[in-house]
C-alpha cells in the first residue's frame, strides 16, 4: 500500500505542474537573469513573470516582491533590515509562539542592544490586540506576528494587529510562511508593511522564499554583493526555483477557494470520526480560526505517548509529526508554543500534528482514522516511551517546521 503524507506544514510535495514549469530552467534555459544577451533576457523575463504571480497571491504589486533563499531568510531580512535602518536603540514586538526563524532573529537582535517584547497568547494560541496596544512604545520599530501557526494552525487577527501597529507609527511584519496560499491575504486592504512567504509550503520548491516590502518602506539588506533584487538580496537569482514559486503561487491563488472547502471537510471528517472512536482525543488550537487542512491533536492521559504514536503511524505508512518543539534538535523539550498556550510541561510534549495537502484524498483520511483508533488502543500508558533509549532516534523526528 502506498504511503500517506499528512505533514504538509513541514513541507509539501512539488505539484507536477510546478515541476514541468521549472524543468526548462534546469536544462537549456540556463541564463543569468542579470545578463543582457538573449539567454539572460529569457531568464529575466521568467523571473519577472514569477514575481507578478507571487505578487498576485497577495494582491501586491510585482515590484514589492523581493525573492530570498527561504522563508527563514525573508524573516531575517524583515526584522534585521527594519532595525538597521533606524538610529539608536530599538524595540521589537513579537509573539511567544513564533517560528524559530523569528525567535532566533529576535534573540540575535537582543544581543545587539534591541529590546524585545514577546506577547502572550490565549489557550487557543491567539494574540490579544489589547496586549499589543499595551506593549507598543514610541521606540517600537517593528511588530512581527505570524499569520498562522505552524504548530497549532491558529490564524491571527492580522488585519487588526497591523492597523494598531500602523496607528502607533511602527512597521508591521507577518510571517505568512504557513498561511500563504492557504488563506486569502490582501496587502492592499491590510496595513501590512512586510510579509514572508516560502514556496515549499505551497507545493513549490524548497530553498526559495519572498519578502513583500510595501512601496515606500525602507529596510536595509542583510546580504551584500551584486545588488540583485533592488539591492535587498544580492546573489544570482535561482531562476528555476523562482519560476516554480511563481507557478505554485498562481495555482494556489486559483484553487484556494475550492481547496479550502475540500481540506476543511477532510479535517472535519477526522475530528468527527475520532470523537466516536477515540474519545480521549482533543483538538489543540482555535476550533474555527485555523488553517483549513491543519489539525493538531492531543490524547488526554496519553500525551506522553505522542512520539510513540507518530512512530507507529510511520511504520504503518503514514507520515504525521509529533509537536514536541518547533525545532527537531530540541524535540525532547516541551513545545514553547504549547507552554505559551498554558499547557503544563507533560501536555506540552504531547501534540500530534496532521496537516493535509493538495493530493490527499478521503480514502487516505479513512485509512488514517481507522489505523489511529487501532494503534491508540494498543499504547501502554504506563510505559514512558519518551525516555526509552530505543526510541530516542524516532522521537527526534519531531515537528521541525
Neighbouring CB atoms inside 10 A of 384's CB total 11
* Element containing residue 51 per DSSP (H, E): helix 38-58
Least separation in angstroms between residue 210's CB and ligand PLP is 10
Of 68 and 117, CB closest to ligand PLP: 68
Question: For residues 101 and 305, which CB has a smaller minimum distance to ligand PLP in the complex?
Answer: 101
Q: Which is nearer to ligand PLP, 281 or 326 (CB)?
A: 326
Min. distance of Cβ 75 from ligand PLP in angstroms? 6
Interacting residues toward ligand PLP by CB under 6 A:
70-72, 75, 99, 101, 146, 150, 175, 177-178, 198, 209, 401
106 is catalytic: no
Smallest gap from residue 198 Cβ to ligand PLP (A): 3
CB of 275 to ligand PLP, least distance (A): 28
Beta strands in 53-205 (DSSP E): 65-68, 91-95, 115-119, 140-144, 171-175, 194-198
Q: Pick the closer one to ligand PLP by CB: 70 or 321.
A: 70
Q: One of 164, 210, 326, 354 is an active-site residue; which one?
A: 326
| Among the listed residues 96, 102, 103, the one whose alpha carbon sits nearest the alpha carbon of residue 132 | 96
The per-residue DSSP string of 159-220 comes to: HHHHHHHHHTT-EEEEE-TTTTTTS---TTTS--SEEEEEGGGTTS-SS-EEEEE-TT----
Angle between helices 239-277 and 362-378 (to 10 degrees): 60
Q: What is the three-class DSSP state of 282?
A: strand
Q: Which is nearer to ligand PLP, 319 or 371 (CB)?
A: 319
- Shortest distance (Å) from residue 197 CB to ligand PLP: 9
The CA distance from 323 to 397, in Å, is 10
Question: How wide is the angle at C-alpha 43 spanned by C-alphas 217 and 256, nearest 5°?
Answer: 60
CB-based contact 347:34 (threshold 8 Å): no
Task: State in Å, rounded, how far the first CA of the chain is from the last one.
Answer: 27
> So which residues are the catalytic ones?
326
Amino acid at each position: 500500500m502506498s504511503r500517506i503524507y499528512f505533514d504538509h506544514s513541514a513541507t509539501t510535495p512539488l505539484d507536477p505542474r510546478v515541476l514541468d514549469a521549472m524543468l526548462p530552467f534546469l536544462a537549456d534555459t540556463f541564463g543569468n537573469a542579470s545578463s543582457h544577451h538573449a539567454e539572460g533576457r529569457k531568464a529575466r523575463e521568467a523571473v519577472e513573470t514569477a514575481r507578478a504571480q507571487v505578487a498576485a497571491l497577495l494582491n501586491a504589486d510585482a515590484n514589492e516582491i523581493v525573492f530570498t533563499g527561504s522563508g527563514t531568510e525573508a524573516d531575517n531580512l524583515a526584522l534585521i533590515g527594519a532595525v538597521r535602518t533606524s538610529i539608536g536603540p530599538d524595540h521589537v514586538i513579537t509573539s511567544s509562539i513564533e517560528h524559530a526563524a523569528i525567535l532566533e532573529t529576535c534573540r540575535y537582535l537582543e544581543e545587539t542592544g534591541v529590546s524585545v517584547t514577546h506577547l502572550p497568547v490565549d489557550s487557543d494560541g491567539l494574540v490579544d490586540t489589547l496586549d499589543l496596544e499595551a506593549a507598543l512604545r514610541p521606540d517600537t520599530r517593528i511588530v512581527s506576528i505570524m499569520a498562522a501557526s505552524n504548530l497549532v494552525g491558529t490564524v491571527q487577527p492580522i488585519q487588526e494587529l497591523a492597523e494598531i501597529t500602523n496607528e502607533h507609527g511602527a512597521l508591521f511584519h507577518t510571517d505568512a510562511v504557513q498561511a500563504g496560499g492557504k488563506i486569502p491575504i490582501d496587502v492592499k486592504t491590510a496595513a501590512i508593511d512586510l510579509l514572508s512567504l516560502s514556496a515549499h509550503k505551497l507545493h513549490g520548491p524548497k530553498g526559495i522564499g519572498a519578502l513583500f516590502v510595501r512601496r515606500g518602506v525602507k529596510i536595509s539588506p542583510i546580504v551584500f554583493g551584486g545588488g540583485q533584487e533592488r539591492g535587498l538580496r544580492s546573489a544570482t537569482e535561482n531562476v528555476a526555483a523562482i519560476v516554480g514559486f511563481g507557478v505554485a503561487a498562481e495555482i494556489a491563488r486559483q484553487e484556494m477557494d475550492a481547496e479550502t472547502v475540500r481540506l476543511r471537510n477532510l479535517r472535519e471528517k477526522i475530528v468527527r470520526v475520532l470523537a466516536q472512536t477515540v474519545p480521549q482525543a482533543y483538538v489543540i488550537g482555535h476550533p474555527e480560526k485555523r488553517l483549513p487542512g491543519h489539525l493538531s491533536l492531543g490524547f488526554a492521559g496519553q500525551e506522553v505517548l505522542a512520539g510513540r504514536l507518530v512512530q507507529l503511524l510511520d511504520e504503518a505508512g503514514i507520515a504525521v509529526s509529533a509537536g514536541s518543539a518547533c525545532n527537531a534538535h530540541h524535540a525532547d523539550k516541551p513545545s514553547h508554543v504549547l507552554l505559551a498556550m498554558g499547557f503544563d510541561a507533560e501536555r506540552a510534549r504531547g501534540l500530534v500534528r496532521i496537516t493535509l495537502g493538495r493530493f490527499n484524498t478521503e480514502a487516505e483520511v479513512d485509512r488514517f482514522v481507522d489505523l489511529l483508533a487501532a494503534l491508540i488502543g494498543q499504547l501502554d500508558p504506563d510505559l514512558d516511551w519518551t525516555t526509552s533509549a530505543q526510541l530516542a532516534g524516532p522521537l527526534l523526528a519531531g515537528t521541525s517546521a
